[in-house]
Amino acid sequence: EVQLVESGGGLVQPGGSLRLSCAASGFTFSSYSMNWVRQAPGKGLEWVSYISSSSSTIYYADSVKGRFTISRDNAKNSLYLQMNSLRDEDTAVYYCARIYDSSGYFDYWGQGTLVTVSS
Amino acid sequence: QSALTQPRSVSGSPGQSVTISCTGTSSDVGGYNYVSWYQQHPGKAPKLMIYDVSKRPSGVPDRFSGSKSGNTASLTISGLQAEDEADYYCCSYAGSYTSVVFGGGTKLTVL
């Protein structure tokens, strides 16, 4: 059974940093591209970042470019999101999601971790 | 990249059918057959219901179907059941991950 479990969320002040983790199991993690998708309270889904299976290709949404860094450790079956210079508008539930590269759909999602940016 | 346009809410009675639309442009929905749909119950993670416009993942009931015409994709749920009450999001992939865009979401109420 595919499982994605996020952790690392919490309350942080504006300008602060946070590192999210996503532990994957039930599939060959090193064979799949992964993403972070977020959802602000009461709002819709927003794609945040993509990383290919070998980490050779990385993309970011314009809203986080230069502040967030996605990475992965295939030996540990883990995905990460380093978030710096956090802003109020980064407050959201952050989901890690596996993506099917050819068609760009997200076939498995974690349960999410809440990041709250507030003073 | 602008969000895809979905109705904010739709409703239907048990057993009826409802259709949720998702309107984009020729640069996203209309240009590629890479539309997917996600169901999200309150406090839960999204769940893939339809991919590649009209394909259903294993385990998704055949009451759920997808289609596309021009720049508008649609999700139809037939034989509505109480457990179908949820938020539904469409998503378009335009060949590049920087062009992944979601719709604003539609709240389905089963009366």
Interface contact flag, B48 A46, Cβ < 8 Å: no
State percent of chain A over pLDDT 70. 100
Q: What is the pLDDT of residue B60?
A: 97
Size of interface A-B (CB pairs under 8 A): 65
Q: Which of A50, A61, A95 sits opposite B45 (nearest CB)?
A: A95
Interface contact flag, A105 B46, Cβ < 8 Å: no
Taking a C-beta distance cutoff of 8 angstroms, is the pair B21, B6 a contact? yes
Q: What is the pLDDT of residue B71?
A: 96
Q: What is the pLDDT of residue B57?
A: 95
Query: Which chain A positions have a beta carbon within 8 Å of B97's beta carbon?
Result: 35, 47, 50, 59, 99, 104
Q: How many CB atoms lie within 10 A of CB A42?
A: 5
Interface contact flag, A104 B46, Cβ < 8 Å: no
**Interface probe, candidates A105, A107, A109, A113, chain B, greatest B C-beta count within 10 A:** A105
Q: What is the pLDDT of residue A98?
A: 96
Q: What is the pLDDT of residue B1?
A: 61
**3-state DSSP of A41-64:** CCCCEEEEEEECCCCCCEEECCCC
Interval A52-94: pLDDT, tens? 999 999 999 999 999 999 999 999 999 999 999 999 999 999 9
User: Residue A101 — pLDDT band, cuts 50, 70, 90?
Assistant: confident
B8, with CB counted inside 10 A (0-12, 13-18, 19+), is exposed
Query: Which chain A positions have a beta carbon within 8 Å of B98's beta carbon?
Result: 59-61
Q: What is the pLDDT of residue B95?
A: 73
Interface contact flag, B91 A106, Cβ < 8 Å: yes
Mean pLDDT computed over A18-44: 96
Residues 6+ apart with CB under 8 A from A45: A37, A38, A39, B38, B46, B89, B91, B102, B105
Q: What is the pLDDT of residue A23?
A: 98
Low-confidence ranges of chain B (pLDDT < 70): 1
Q: What is the pLDDT of residue A102?
A: 81
Question: Tokens 């710096």 map to which residue?
Answer: A84
User: Residue A103 — pLDDT band, cuts 50, 70, 90?
Assistant: confident
Residue of chain B with shortest Cα separation from A106: B48
**Interface probe, candidates A37, A47, A96, A108, chain B, greatest B C-beta count within 10 A:** A47
What mean pLDDT value characterizes chain A?
Answer: 96
- Report whether pLDDT(A49) > 70: yes
